[in-house]
Structure 1
Amino acid sequence: MTTAVAVSASPSSAKKAASRNLLATCWTTAGDANPYPGDQRSPVGIRERVEAASGAGFRGLGLLHADLMPALDEYGVRGLRTLLDDHGIVDLELELLTGWWATGPDRVRNDLLTAAEQLGARHIKAAPDVAGGSWNRDQWITAFAALAADAANAGTRVGLELLPWSNIRTVHEGLSLVRDAGAPAAGLIIDVWHTERAHTPPADLAAVPLRYIVGVELDDADAEPVGTLFDDTVNRRRLCGRGAFDLAGVIAALRATGWDGPWGAEILSEEHRKTPVREAVAAAFRTVEAVLKQRCQ
C-alpha cells in the first residue's frame, strides 16, 4: 500500500468532482463472464445491463467488443443509442483493442472505431502487449499516433491501459509513449489496481498532465496479490473501500491533475460474478460513490 499524497481541493471543485458521472466498466455489469482467453461474452442481455447500470446511478457504461457487436445486431445503431439515452447513459467506453501495433487488417479495430463514431463513444480502450516478446518502441510510437489519428477522425479518443505484467507496466512508461506519439486524441487509462500493483505512488499520478488522462478506474484489493497478477486482477478485486489500496491518495492525486470524471468502477472478482447483476452493480456504485464523497468532506 502506498502513502497518500497531501493534496487538497477547494470545496467547490470537490463538490463538482463528487457529482460527476460514474461509469460502470464492461466487467462490472457483465455478470458471469471474465477476461480469460476464450468466450468472453456476457450471459446478461444488453438491456438488463443498461437497466442495472442506470438503476444503480451510473451515467456511463463500458462494453467489450464481444458484447457490443451482438447488441448492434439486436438493436442497430439507432436503437442502441436510444436505449442508452432513455436510461441516462451519457458516457460510453468501448474495449478492448489489442495488437494495434501490428500491420494488416484488424476487424476489431474497424468495428470499434466505426461504433465509436456512430454511437458517440467517449473513448476506446487499448491494451499493451502481454505476450512478453521484444518490441520496437519507435514502431509503437508511430502505430499509436496512427491509432489516435483514426480515433480523432471518428470523434473519439484512445486510452492506453497500463498493465503491470505487460511491456508497458507503469504510468511513466505509458506517459512517455503517448507524449512521443504527439496526438491530442492519445492518452492513458489509469486503473488504480494496475498502478497500485506497479507500486506507483500517488504523487506520480498527480504529475500526469490532464491532457494525457483519457479515463480513470477505481477498485480495491488486498495488500499482496495471490497467484499471478492476471489471476489476481481477474478473480480477487474488491469493492472500493474493502481492501488495502490507498484510494484516498489516488483520488486526491488525480483531482490535483484537474480530473473530475467520469470515474470508472471496474470490479472483477469471483464473488462479483456470482452475485446477481443488479445487486452487484448497485454495490459497485455505492462503494465508488462513497470513497469519492469521503474525499470531498
Structure 2
Amino acid sequence: MKLSLHGVSVWYSNAVTQLRIAQETGFSGLEILPEHLYRYLDNGGSYAAFRQLMAQHHIDVTCINALKRIGRHQPEARAELLREAEQICQAAVELRCPVVQIMALTELDQLPAAERDAILLDNISAIADIGKAHGIKFQIEVVAFTAFNSLQQALDLIARSGKDNLGVVVDFWHLHAGGGTTPDEVAQMDKSLIYGVHFCDGRAAYPDEAWDEWVQRNYAPGEGDVDIAAWVAAVKATGYDGVWSPELLSPRHWEHDLWDISRSCLDSMRTYIN
C-alpha cells in the first residue's frame, strides 16, 4: 500500500511545497494537479529541478490529476484534447509517474446514451494509445453530477476498448453521490483494474440544489453521508494494495494550516484502513 497526498487537499499551495508537506507529514507519494505543475513550469521551474526535489523529499508522483472533458468530439475540440493528452503524458514521463487520471464532465450529457458511449469509447481508446507509447496508464474517474457516473459504465467501456492500460479510480464521494454504484460492486472487482483510491466524504446534492463540489464535498472524513468504512472494506476485499489518496475538497478546511490538513488527512485514512 502506498499513501499519496492529493494536491486538492492542499489546494492553496504550490507544487514544490506539496513535496515538502507530503514528506514531513508521513506520505510517500503525491497526486499532483496539472494546474500546479504547469504553473511551476511556466514560472521558471523545470522537470529536472522538480525530479531533484522529489528525490530530496523521497516522494514519488503517483498520478497526474487530471485530463478533463474527455468527451470533446467536434474536430477542433478533439484535436485539442489529444494534444493535451500528449502533453500530460510527456509530463508523466518526466516525473516518472505511472498513471494519469481522465474524466468526462458534462460535455456529453445532452446526448443519447449510445452516442455518448461511442464518443467516449473512441476518445479513451485514442488516449490509451497515446499513453501506451510512453508506458503510461489511465485511471477513469466517473463524475457524480454527469451522465457518466457509475462504475459499471467505466468498466464496460474499458472492456469494449480492449486496451490494457485503462483502469478506474475508486472515488468514494463520486460513487456514493452518483447513486449508481454500491460498495458490493467494488468488492467484486478485479483488483488489476483499480489504479487508485480517492478516500473522501461529502453528500449528494439535495433536491432542487445545484451541483457544486465546493458545497457537497465541504466535509472532512466522518462528517458527511458517505459510508467510508463500507467503501474501504470493499476495496480491501478485492485484495488491492496500491495507491490510496485522501481527497479533501473542502474550502472550509483549506483555510487551515497546510501541514495540519495533510496530517489530519493521513490520520483519518489510516484509522479507517486499519
- Alignment TM-score > 0.5, same fold: yes
* TM-score after normalising by structure 1: 0.81
Q: Residues of 1 paired with 2:177 and 2:166: CA distance?
A: 24
Q: Provide the residue aligned with 2:224 in structure 1.
A: 243
1:145–1:181 contact (8 Å) kept in structure 2: yes
> Which among 60, 72, 75 is matched to residue 45 of structure 2?
75
Q: Residues of 1 paired with 2:195 and 2:6: CA distance?
A: 14
Cα offsets for 1:150-198 (capped at 9, x unmatched): 1122222111101121131111111111111111101112100011112
- Corresponding position: 1:133 with 2:110: yes
2:99–2:138 contact (8 Å) kept in structure 1: yes
Q: 1:94 to 1:55 in 2, by over 3 A?
A: same
Q: Provide the residue aligned with 1:152 in structure 2.
A: 132
1:193–1:233 contact (8 Å) kept in structure 2: no
Unaligned runs of 5+ in 2: none
1:220–1:245 contact (8 Å) kept in structure 2: yes
Q: Provide the residue aligned with 1:118 in structure 2.
A: 94
- Corresponding position: 1:45 with 2:11: no
3-state SS of the aligned residue for 2:143? coil
Q: Residues of 2 paired with 1:194 and 1:154: CA distance?
A: 29
Unaligned runs of 5+ in 1: 1-19, 32-43
Cα offsets for 1:53-73 (capped at 9, x unmatched): 221111111222221112234
Which segment drifts farther, 241-250 or 263-272? 241-250
1:120–1:156 contact (8 Å) kept in structure 2: no
Which residues of 2 match residues 61-100 of structure 1 at below 5 A?
A: 61-73=30-42, 74-100=44-70
Q: Provide the residue aligned with 1:35 in structure 2.
A: none
Q: Provide the residue aligned with 1:24 in structure 2.
A: 5
2:68–2:104 contact (8 Å) kept in structure 1: yes
Q: Provide the residue aligned with 1:104 in structure 2.
A: 79
- Corresponding position: 1:142 with 2:122: yes
- Corresponding position: 1:206 with 2:187: yes
Q: Residues of 2 paired with 1:234 and 1:81: CA distance?
A: 35
- Corresponding position: 1:291 with 2:272: yes
Which segment drifts farther, 256-265 or 102-111? 102-111
2:220–2:250 contact (8 Å) kept in structure 1: no
- Corresponding position: 1:174 with 2:154: yes
Q: 1:259 to 1:228 in 2, by over 3 A?
A: farther
Q: Residues of 1 paired with 2:235 and 2:105: CA distance?
A: 26
What is the RMSD computed on CA atoms of the aligned residues? 2.0
Cα offsets for 1:127-166 (capped at 9, x unmatched): 1131322144223212212211211222221111011211
* TM-score after normalising by structure 2: 0.87
Q: 1:240 to 1:77 in 2, by over 3 A?
A: same
Q: Name the amino acid aligned to 2:199.
A: L
Structure 1 residue 289: deviation in Å? 1.4
